[in-house]
Amino acid sequence: MVGDKVYTTTLLRRTYREDGKVKNETLANLSHLPAPILEVVKAGMSGQAVGVLSQDLACVRSLPHGHVAAVVGTMRACGLTALLGSRRTRERDLMEALIAHRLISPGSKLSLFRALSPETATSTLGEVLGVSGATEDELYEAMDALLSRQEKIEKSLAQRHLQDGTLVLYDVSSSYYTGEHCELVRYGHNRDGKKRFPQIVYGLLCASDGCPVAIEVFEGNTADPTTLSSQIQKLRERFGLARVVLVTDRGILTQVQIDKVREIPGFDWITALRSPSIAKLRDQGRIPASLFDAKNLAEITSPDYPGERLIVCRNPVLASRRAWKREELLAATEKDLEKIAQAVRRAKNPLRGKDKIVLRVGKGIDKHHVGKHFDLTFEDDSFSWTRNEEKIREEASLDGLYVIRTSLSQEILGPEKTVGAYKSLAQVERAFRSIKTVDLEIRPIYHRMTDRVKSHVFLCMLAYYVEWQMKQKLAPLLFAEEDREGADRERPDIVSPAVPSEAARKKASSRRTEANLPLQTFGGLIEDLGTLVKNVMQAGKDESARFSISTTSTPFQKKALELLGVGANL
């Protein structure tokens, strides 16, 4: 009894004798069960024949729960929840809900409002986090609070995943905007194939293993190279890193940017040359065909790149693919040109006039982006073309070639590891795919306020951080490579395309784990866990006589939760 309140605890216990001593053991705490159910339990324990008629016991609500337990449990286990706030508050719970919902069922804040409403709940997320019935205003306020913590959270992530002298991956992407107005939104280089839509640009910093650390949003017309200076400042000043090896794309780390980075003590870089620069090296005779007689990788020097190492790589698979694609495009262009030639030659209503013929050809010659490989001849009543074999050979000489440039000495990082470091940028590209389309669906973006757009992008990055953590632990149940060293041994060299290890091929072929459990994609696994449901039961007509019972986990679900180190009951 506490004050005027009386608290009753009901325990299921057994008495047994051990070494001559009588001992008691608590088997279960039944305090949460309603009185009618407790009476049934007591009667059964006393040996009476009991039963509950179907009309006396009803399931009044069922809500998906397993994916909530997995995501929220991972957020807490990986320490993200603590980064949102050192102590539990409603604001922190709402921020957790924003991030978790992005993984469980990506959608608008309005969809989250409905998902948290007791009347329209789509999962136990509101119940687990104690935010059932949260208002739209509360969710937007939580977004604002999340953005205000961005610098602090990113600094903590950097302390966990980045160390002095480490590789830091950086890349830039964009997403089109479908809202009404936002100051960040501009027309620019569109990567989504939606040229009629304005966009925002964002840059993502990752650790060498692809773990996301920080993200920054820019105006939609921001050129990729101009995003770099704020990242360098972030690494040095906010994250306190004195030595960094920045790995980024050739379109970001231009010569102008490299000249700036040279002036920063402790900062090195790994990037690649653009095609015109590679062609110049070829024309200077620095990339002879004999360079690849021994292997598909070689180091060269050039006075154009003082104090730098150039590592020339030739990917034979990519070379063959590009040669095949070029021939396909050339043939398609010739087919289009032949249609125009037939229009010129036809007897009835032929195409006449040099200007008209030029105009018709001009509209279609670059449709397949190989018009530069044709020599065209125009007359008032004729039109012909030939392939420019010399230009085709010049382009073909670069097939499969790429050149890595770095400021690191060979003693610090050998050529193979340097190429491997540059190739690790593919992990950032995978992050963008996940954030933009596969799992988290950053689009569509409807927010009008600049800070809300930034907060939206940041919470998508945090959701990917949770996804990344989950994927590391759930790899045995996913179509994922678990034996990186074995996969590396399978391919002839670091330049060749990655190939799966024997274990990964076996997984892909059987679509089963070693324990004969089904393999899933990450999205499929989340969906599967969602079928682990929490049911609200009611005995009779008394609404106070309600209790919850969850469906029994399948072997797959049990293994997934076990790998994550979380329980179904949060």
Q: Is the pLDDT of residue 160 over 60?
A: yes
Residue 178 is predicted with a pLDDT of: 80
Chain-centre distance for alpha carbon 217 = 16
Average pLDDT score over the chain: 89
Give Cα separations from 497 to 49, 228, 423, 467 (angstroms).
Answer: 69, 29, 10, 26
Q: Tokens standing for 168? A: 């830091």
Contact 248, 425 (CB under 8 A): yes
Q: How far apart are CA 57 and CA 506, in angstroms?
A: 48
Q: How far apart are CA 271 and CA 408, in angstroms?
A: 11
Single-letter amino acid, residue 169: L
Residue 4 is predicted with a pLDDT of: 63
Contact 494, 423 (CB under 8 A): yes
Chain-centre distance for alpha carbon 276 = 31
Angle subtended at Cα 80 by Cα 79 and Cα 83, rounded to the nearest 5 degrees = 95
- β-partners of residue 383 are 378
Q: Select the more confidently predicted residue: 245 or 570.
A: 245
Summarised one tens digit per residue, pLDDT across range 347-398 is 899 899 999 989 999 888 888 999 999 999 989 888 899 999 999 999 999 9
Kindly state the helix (H) or strand (E) to which residue 51 belongs, with its residue range.
Answer: none
Summarised one tens digit per residue, pLDDT across range 484-503 is 888 888 888 888 888 888 98
Quick one: pLDDT band at residue 531, thresholds 50, 70, 90?
very high
Handedness of CA 516, 518, 522, 526 (dihedral sign): negative
Q: Is the pLDDT of residue 570 over 80?
A: no
Q: Report the range out of 18-27, 36-45, 259-268 with the highest average pLDDT.
A: 259-268
Single-letter amino acid, residue 503: A
Contact 539, 53 (CB under 8 A): no
Neighbours of 9 (CB within 10 A): 7
Quick one: pLDDT band at residue 195, thresholds 50, 70, 90?
confident
Summarised one tens digit per residue, pLDDT across range 296-328 is 999 999 999 999 999 999 998 899 999 999 999
Q: How far apart are CA 503 and CA 497, in angstroms?
A: 18
Contact 319, 327 (CB under 8 A): no
Mean pLDDT across 35-54: 64
Q: Is the peptide bond before 106 cis (omega within 30 degrees of 0)?
A: no
Contact 533, 552 (CB under 8 A): no
3-state secondary structure of 451: helix
Return the DSSP state at 56. T
Domain boundaries, the chain: 11-61, 318-396, 483-514
Q: Select the more confidently predicted residue: 31 or 126.
A: 126
Q: How far is it between the farthest Cα atoms of the chain?
A: 116
3-state secondary structure of 244: strand
Phi (first) and psi of residue 365, to 5 degrees: -65, -35
Q: Is the pLDDT of residue 5 over 70?
A: no
Neighbours of 41 (CB within 10 A): 15
